[in-house]
Amino acid sequence: MSIGLLSREAANLLVLPNHGLHVAGFFVAFIVSLVLAWVTLFIMGRYQCWKGSVLTGHQVQHHESKLEHSQFTSADGVNEDLALNDHMVDILFSEDPGGMLQALEELEIATLNQADAELEACRTQISKDVIALLLRNLASSGRLSTQVERRMGAVFKKQFLSLEREIREELDRKMVALTAECDLETRKKTENQYQREVAATEEAEELLKRVSERSAAECSASLRALHGLELGHLRRSLALQKEEDFARARRQLAVFQRSELHNIFFAQIKSAIFKGELKPEAAKMLLQDYCNIQEDVEELMDYFQASKRYHLSKRFGHREYLVQNIQSSETRVQGLLSAAAAQLTLLIQKHERAGYLDEGQMEVLLERAQTEVFSVKQKLDSDLKQEKKKLRQKLITRRRREMLQKHKEQRKEQLSLGDAFRAAEDVSQYLGQWRSLVAGHIAALEELQECLDQAALDGLRALTLSLSQRAAEELWRLQNSAVAQELLRRGAPWLFLQQVLEEHSKETAARAEQLEAEERDRDQEGVQSVRQRLKEDDLEAATEEQAELRRWQRCIFA
């Protein structure tokens, strides 16, 4: 019994909870967990700080590098260049051959405006690079502390970005205002033109009551055509005026931006002198160097302007030749088709004059022949429309691919200029690198565009001639088979028919040779015109002319 009692007491002792030990264990575990948590958070925090500092260092380095030298070619400029190149394909594929040269002139104006914007962006980037180089050279000579150089550079960058943002916003406002103003002017002048047309039509109707119905119809058609030409001329002149207004607004803002860049630089120099960070002697030397370099920058921009003008003149001289070539090919094609269609009519009329057909039979055959000719021409128009659509898309895709590749290559070369900027010690040397880079880029782009334009012409010309010759051959087969069989069925002698067909065959060959020779002569005239234009717009002459303008400017404002 005593053993059982002891066992129960031991059991009771084992199951009784010791609250003191539990509390002590809880506090020990809590403190240990808290310490471990703090240690873990401390380690993670230090790691994140270290990682953040490394990333920040990289970002600051990249940001400083980007601000020291950035590309002046924007994505908007590239997209606009691609759109203008697409428009050249649209001109070549136009259904209105008579309006091609006018459309080309409008494209030339838009391209000149875009070229001015690109050169202005180039000028702005060069100006910012020059300021950065001058400050760096001043710091390396010990006349300016590195800390002050960095601070001034940061202020310059901030103010430059703010200025560019203000210029863009102001340009957008001006474009919106000018667009609204031009649209209002267009509506007014179009309404006035419409009222004049109504008055002229009413007056003409009164006069035409006294003439025959046929003459009245011809006069009305001529009057409508005249009104259409007047309206087209009005719209083109208004569109050109709009482009000129836009270009004038851009030039005004460009001049304002140049002036503000100088003011920002001068204000920072004045502030540095006032704070004692820059000695007056060093500031005077810095400003003297800055003014001297501006002369070099202006000469460089004169060269860029002359080079761009020369290459654009060459481009549009070549494009004018391409448009004339397309029109010449169209003349040749229409000549072939007209000759083939005329021979069908002549074949039937010769048999009527020879007495093998009466007038009624001739009228029936002529009507059938005209129906067949209309069917062949309609099929040709449909085939041309479909094939031209495919070819146009193919050409635009190729142009965009090759132009984008060229722009990509040139962007890489611009990035390499950033390395040259960081290593440059002499501003003149750096400007020389800019000159070589931009001149090379302009020439390379012009060469590529000329090749793409020529490829577009060759493809379109080959397609048009191929389908047109097929249609002409169809008309000749119609003459030699269906019409010939119908004439034989109506009693025409085989020998007479064969003689006429042989004459027509010789005339067809002679006419084809004549049309080809005329096209070749027109092409030669176009080539001579392009050569004369290039001779007149020589690059050296354009550069000298730009330099002469600069000399006159100095004389006037001296």
pLDDT reported for residue 21: 39
Residue 556 lies in a domain: no
**Is there a domain that residue 81 lies in?**
no
Mean pLDDT along residues 288-303:
88
Q: How far apart are CA 66 and CA 392, in angstroms?
A: 40
Q: Same domain, yes or no, for 334 and 390?
A: yes
* Same domain (yes/no): 462, 364: yes
Does residue 286 sit within a domain?
Answer: no
11 domain-assigned? yes
- The whole domain housing 132 covers 100-278
Domain closes at, from 221, 243, 278: 278
pLDDT reported for residue 16: 36
Q: State the residue for tokens 């208004």.
A: 238
Same domain, 162 and 23: no
Q: Do 177 and 28 reside in the same domain of the chain?
A: no
pLDDT for 2 equals: 34
Residues 114 and 260 in one domain: yes
- Whether residue 77 is contained in a domain is answered as no
For residue 372, is it left (φ>0), alpha (ψ between -120 and 50) or beta?
Answer: alpha
Nearest to 136, CA basis, from 124, 126, 150: 150
Rg (C-alpha) for the chain, rounded Å, is 40
With vertex at residue 83, the alpha carbon angle to CA 80 and CA 86, rounded to the nearest 5 degrees, is 155
Report the pLDDT averaged over residues 261-281.
89
Which of 321, 327, 341, 336 is CA-nearest to residue 516? Answer: 336
464 is a domain residue = yes
What pLDDT, in 10s, does the model give residues 358-396?
888 888 888 888 888 889 989 999 999 999 999 999 999
- Average confidence (pLDDT) over 181-193: 89
End-to-end CA distance of the chain: 131
Regarding whether 45 and 121 lie in a shared domain, the answer is no
Q: Which residues does 273 contact at the CB level (< 8 Å), separation at least 6?
A: 279, 280, 283
What percent of the chain has pLDDT above 90?
15
267 and 309 assigned to the same domain:
no
Position 42 in a domain: yes
8 against 69, higher pLDDT:
69
User: Is the pLDDT score of 6 beyond 50?
Assistant: no
Judge if 267 and 314 occupy the same domain: no
The count of domains in the chain is 3
Residues 122 and 259 both lie in one domain: yes
Q: What is the pLDDT of residue 453?
A: 93
Using the predicted structure, report yes or no on whether residue 320 has a pLDDT greater than 60.
yes
Tens of pLDDT along 217-236? 888 888 888 888 888 888 88
Q: What is the mean pLDDT of residues 22-36?
A: 42
> pLDDT class for 444, splitting at 50, 70, 90?
very high
Evaluate whether 345 touches 353 at the Cβ level (below 8 Å).
no
361 lies in the same domain as 448: yes
Mean pLDDT score, 246-254 = 88
| pLDDT score recorded for residue 64 | 40
60 located within any domain: no
Q: How confident is the model over 391-418, as pLDDT tens digits?
A: 999 999 999 999 999 999 988 888 877 6
The first and second tokens of residue 45, run together, are 């925090």
If phi > 0 it is left, if psi is from -120 to 50 it is alpha, else beta; for residue 142 that is left
Residue among 159, 422, 189, 412 at smallest CA distance from 265: 159
For residue 24 the two structure tokens come to: 């002590």
Q: Give how far the C-alpha of residue 286 lies from the chain's centroid of Cα atoms, to the nearest Å.
A: 40
Q: Which of 243, 263, 278 is the last residue of a domain?
A: 278
Looking at residues 7-14, what average pLDDT do you find? Answer: 34
101-154 pLDDT, tens digit per residue, is: 888 888 888 888 888 888 898 899 888 888 888 888 888 888 888 888 888 889
Flag whether pLDDT at 169 surpasses 60: yes
Tell me how far apart the alpha carbons of residues 248 and 406 are, in angstroms, rounded to a whole number.
Answer: 30
State the pLDDT at residue 541: 67
Tell the burial category of 332 from Cβ atoms under 10 Å away from its Cβ (0-12, 13-18, 19+).
Answer: buried
For the entire predicted model, the pTM comes to 0.72
More confident residue, 543 or 340: 340
Place of tokens 């009784």: 16
- Looking at the structure, do residues 114 and 192 belong to the same domain, yes or no? yes
Q: Which one has a higher pLDDT value, 542 or 205?
A: 205
Mean pLDDT over all residues of the chain? 79
- Position 294 pLDDT exceeds 90: no
Confidence check: pLDDT of 47 > 50: no
DSSP string, 279-346: -HHHHHHHHHHHHHHHHHHHHHHHHHHHHHHHHHHHHHHHHHHHHHHHHHHHHHHHHHHHHHHHHHHH
Query: How many C-beta atoms surround the C-beta of residue 240 within 10 A?
Result: 14
Do 332 and 229 have their domain in common? no
